[in-house]
Structure 1
Amino acid sequence: MTMRHVILEPAEEGGYTVYCPSLPGCVSQGETRADALTNIKEAIELYLESLSAHNEPVPPDIDVEIEAIAV
């Protein structure tokens, strides 16, 4: 099992959008935080399976930092 960082964002229409910054285009959603995390786990698994099936390299996970700045 490998670990991947994901980012959860509250969606304007309710629920959550979640994505994995180290896997471009790997995005999911859910009505609850738990649903979103379950769904992104499945999306990541499918993404990695697709890379393997196409003999593509698996990108390493990346550390994510979030900062608030005044603008």
Structure 2
Amino acid sequence: MKLTYAVVIEQISNNCGAYAPDVPGCISTAETPDEMLANIREALAFHIDGLVESGDPVPVPAMSIDDAIAYHGQALADSDAESMADYGDATSTLSTRFETVEVEISTPQATLAG
């Protein structure tokens, strides 16, 4: 089974980070945006395999790129200065990309959430 998730890739001065809003808790980092696509695909596959092994449902890929853009914008708006202060001087984001990533689920007994 193949699932396609929208992902958010943020580049800062020295690396990139990515997450899939539909899959809470699954994040990854890399040195370049292109490397990040491979890393987040691997992280999603690993995370989903863990969910399946635990008998937990697999998150349904529900967000489109437009939904991910809106979600990311809202997440930034919801973070207040006090909570960001816990991280010290945050490095500013140079760019943000929104992509889709296809993940192969090798376990036929996977149960989709929803």
Say whether the fold is shared (TM-score over 0.5): yes
Q: Aligned runs of 1:47-62 on 2, under 5 Å?
A: 47-62=47-62
More strand by share: 2
Shift of 1:65: 4.2
Question: What TM-score do the two structures reach when normalised by structure 1?
Answer: 0.82
Q: Give runs of aligned pairs for residues 1-71 of structure 1, distance below 5 A.
A: 1-11=2-12, 13-63=13-63, 64-66=67-69
Gaps of 5+ in 2: 74-114
Q: Which runs of 5+ in 1 are unaligned?
A: none
The 4+ residue runs of structure 1 with deviation greater than 2 A are 64-68
Identity %, equivalent residues: 30
Aligned position for 2:106? none
1:43-68 CA distance string (max 9 Å, x none): 00001100110110111113224257
**Residue 24 of structure 1: SS of its match in structure 2?**
coil
Q: Is the 8 A contact 2:26 2:44 kept in 1?
A: yes
User: Of the two, which has the highest radius of gyration?
Assistant: 2
Count of residue pairs the alignment pairs up: 67
Q: Could you say what the CA RMSD is over the residues aligned between the two structures, in angstroms?
A: 1.6
CA distance in 2, matches of 1:43, 1:66: 21
Instruction: Report the alpha carbon displacement of residue 25 of structure 1 after superposing the two structures with TM.
Output: 1.0
